[in-house]
Amino acid sequence: MKALVYHGPGSKSWEDVPDPVLQDETDAIVRVETTTICGTDLHILKGDVPAVVDGRILGHEGVGVVTEIGAGCTQVKVGDRVIISCVSKCMTCSYCLQGLTSHCQTLGGIGWIFGHLIDGTQAELVRVPFADHGLIPLPDGVSAEQGAMLSDILPTGYEIGVLNGAVKEGDVVAVIGAGPVGLSAIMTAATRGASKVIAVDSNKFRLEESLTFGATDTVDVGAGVDVVEALRAHSSDGLGVDVAIEAVGLPATFGTALDSIRPGGHVANVGVHGESVSFPLERDWINNITITTGLVNATTAPELLEEVTAGRMDPGKFVTHRFTFDQVIEAYDTFARAADEHAIKVVISRTE
């Protein structure tokens, strides 16, 4: 088969590799129909994730058809069209049972293994461990593109942003960073009753798009405004927003989130940080604030899928660029220049 293979920082290729085979009785093999590229894949190619070794097939999102199952599979069947969850889970260890599947102990304490610790989904075929728990049936009427967005980004924005931020009826919510995950938080915040959802970014295209995803207001960082004051002005009393969702992963944006919340507010950090941030505890110890972080558990994908099938949510609108499998290198080049290319999510699909 063909697959996108990592060969060290800055090096990747679309090449022939052996087909995957069942290794455990709970495995399944999936013929990938559609996959996509995540910002994490770009971090890997920069050398930021040293656990990813030379020869690893990248990718952790996608939709496909089950072609083979192990003897221990009781839920999935050959021929099933499925969403491949970005988080693998045994559903028997203590962490899985309490809903923290991203820390599955059977898998060594980390549920994100595709394209990280085992071969991933940017391939014609992929082996899926614990397939009964890692594959979600894709209903008729839901497209492969919509389904692929439920592998990772939509659950990430919802779980780590909206749910961790405890968004509730009437809340004013700021989403700092209107990239794919920020837009996921914007799309799902309304499901919890937010009265205002304010998108904060310096990219005019993303700000414009955020309004189609559910943002009620925008703040353009590049317009010379005081972002914190602009966000506070959106609260009824000027004290600040109820929830700030940080979806960038920089010290400055974390600081903006922290500065913009009201006493008793929440900062839900979704961004992947590569350096330390400043937390002025001498200022904020008295403010009864809550700060959360997290890696997606992807346990809300079935709930979000219900929103899609009911027509209340369309994750297909994330897709701005489409490529075939043999154009995967071009797809990476486009996604790496997302701001210039006006790219939100790129999808890579089979042609046959």
Please give the pLDDT value at position 90.
98
pLDDT tens column, 108-118: 999 999 999 99
Please give the pLDDT value at position 251.
97
Domains of the chain: 2-152+297-349 (3.90.180.10), 155-292 (3.40.50.720)
Report the alpha-carbon distance of residue 172 to residue 101 in Å, rounded.
30
Determine the average pLDDT of the residues in 219-240. 96
Q: Which amino acid is at 140?
A: D
pTM of the model: 0.96
The 10 Å Cβ neighbour count of residue 74 is: 10
Q: What percent of the chain has pLDDT over 70?
A: 100
pLDDT category at 209 given cuts 50, 70, 90 is: very high
pLDDT exceeds 90 at position 274: no
Q: Which amino acid is at 266?
A: H
Beta strands, E only, the chain: 2-6, 12-16, 28-36, 62-69, 81-84, 125-128, 135-137, 172-176, 196-201, 217-220, 241-246, 261-269, 290-292, 319-324, 345-349
Report the alpha-carbon distance of residue 323 to residue 337 in Å, rounded.
15
1 within 8 A of 123, measured Cβ to Cβ: yes
Please give the pLDDT value at position 36.
98
Report the alpha-carbon distance of residue 245 to residue 290 in Å, rounded.
12
The 10 Å Cβ neighbour count of residue 25 is: 10
Please give the pLDDT value at position 87.
98
Report the alpha-carbon distance of residue 327 to residue 321 in Å, rounded.
12
| Residues 6 or more apart whose Cβ sits within 8 Å of residue 97 | 91
Question: What single-letter DSSP state applies at residue 190?
Answer: G
Runs of H (alpha helix) within the chain: 39-45, 94-97, 131-134, 144-149, 153-156, 180-189, 204-213, 227-232, 251-260, 281-284, 301-309, 328-336, 338-341
93 within 8 A of 41, measured Cβ to Cβ: no
Please give the pLDDT value at position 143.
97
pLDDT exceeds 80 at position 325: yes
Report the alpha-carbon distance of residue 221 to residue 295 in Å, rounded.
27
Please give the pLDDT value at position 178.
97
Q: At what angle do helices 204-213 and 180-189 cross, to 10 degrees?
A: 30
Determine the average pLDDT of the residues in 199-213. 97
Report the alpha-carbon distance of residue 201 to residue 248 in Å, rounded.
10
pLDDT category at 86 given cuts 50, 70, 90 is: very high
pLDDT exceeds 80 at position 352: no
Residue (of 83, 40, 64, 57) closest to 2 by Cα position = 57
pLDDT tens column, 147-193: 999 999 999 999 999 999 999 999 999 999 999 999 999 999 999 99
Tell me the average pLDDT of the chain: 97
343 within 8 A of 321, measured Cβ to Cβ: yes
Please give the pLDDT value at position 30.
98
pLDDT tens column, 118-157: 999 999 999 999 999 999 999 999 999 999 999 999 999 9
The neighbouring-strand residues paired with 123 are 3
